[in-house]
Amino acid sequence: MNWKQKVNSALGEFTGFHLAKIGGEAGPAQAPEPAEVRPPADARTDRLLRAPVFVMSPVRSGSTLLRALLNAHPLLHAPHELHVRRLKVDFGTSLAERAMHALGHNQADLEHLLWDRVLHRELLRSGKSHIVDKTPANAFAWERISTCWPDARFVFLLRHPVSIARSWHEADPVKRTADEAAADALRYMKAVQRARKGLTGLTVRYEDLTAAPETEVRKICEYLAIPYEPGMLKYGEQTVLTKGLGDWKDKIRSGAVQPGRDLPADDDVPDLLRPMCERWGYLSS
C-alpha cells in the first residue's frame, strides 16, 4: 500500500469518505452520508429491534472485555464488532429512487431498515433478548445511531487517555509511532466525548471495571434493567478474536477479568492528551 492509499484509507476510517480520481478507475469509495437523516416514521413497524445497547468507547479502552462480560449474560447478545454503520444503500436507478420515495423512504431510511434488520437477525439467531454492539467507530456516528433507534441505550466506556494511546501504539507499532497513535486515538476520545454530551447513558471506567468487576457489572445490569448474573465474571473462551473485530491479545483469551496496567504518572501525560485527561477526571487542572 503506497502513501496515497494509506492516506485515503485513514480518511475513510475517520470520516466515512474516500477520495476518488475523477475519470479514473472506480474504487471502493464510501458514499457520502445522506442529506436527510430522520427518525423512523413509525417505530412499531419500521424497527424490529427494541432498545438496542451501544457501547461507545475509544479504541483500546477495554471494550472487548466489556463485550465478553455482557455476552456471558443469558439475556444479552454482544457479538464482535459489527460496523453496521458502514452498510450503505444505493438506489441504482432514478426509477428505483422514485419508487422508494413514493413509499416514503429516502436513502437514510432504507439504510436504517438495513441496519435494523441485520442486527435483529443476529439477535434472533442468538436466542437472547437484547443486542449489544461495541464497535468503537460508532462514536463517530452517535447522532445517526440515536436517530435510527430512538429507544437505544448507551454505555460510555472511558480509560486513561495515555493508557489508550500506549495500547493503540503497541497494537501495531509498525503502522503508527507513539505520537501518531496518540493523535489517532484522540480522535476517538473526542468523538466519545461528543456522544457523552449529546446522549443520555451510563459511564463506566476501564480501571474500575478491572479493579472491581462485580460492582461495575452490577451497575450496568441495573441500568439495562436486567438481573445481575454472577457467571458474567467468568466469560470463558471467545469465539471471535480477530484484529479489526475486537481485541485479540492474551488478556482477553484468559476468560476472566485481568488487572489493568498501572495508571500513568501525571508527569508522563503529553500536552496533546492533557485536556482530555482533565476532562475525564484523570488529571487535576
Which segments in the chain show pLDDT lower than 70? 1-31, 237-256, 285
Identify whether the C-beta of residue 139 lies closer than 8 Å to the C-beta of residue 58.
Answer: yes
Q: What is the structure's pLDDT at 209?
A: 96
Q: What is the structure's pLDDT at 241?
A: 46
Q: What is the structure's pLDDT at 262?
A: 84
Q: What is the structure's pLDDT at 30?
A: 54
* Residues 257-270: tens digit of each pLDDT: 777 778 999 999 99
Closest alpha carbon to 36 in 105, 119, 128, 138: 105
* Residues 210-258: tens digit of each pLDDT: 999 999 999 999 999 999 999 999 887 645 445 554 544 555 555 667 7
Q: What is the structure's pLDDT at 242?
A: 55
Q: Which fold has domain 61-280?
A: Rossmann fold (3.40.50)
Q: What is the pTM of this model?
A: 0.83
Going from N- to C-terminal start, the domains of the chain cover 61-280
* Residues 114-124: tens digit of each pLDDT: 999 999 999 99
CA gap 279, 275 in Å, rounded: 6
Q: What is the structure's pLDDT at 253?
A: 57
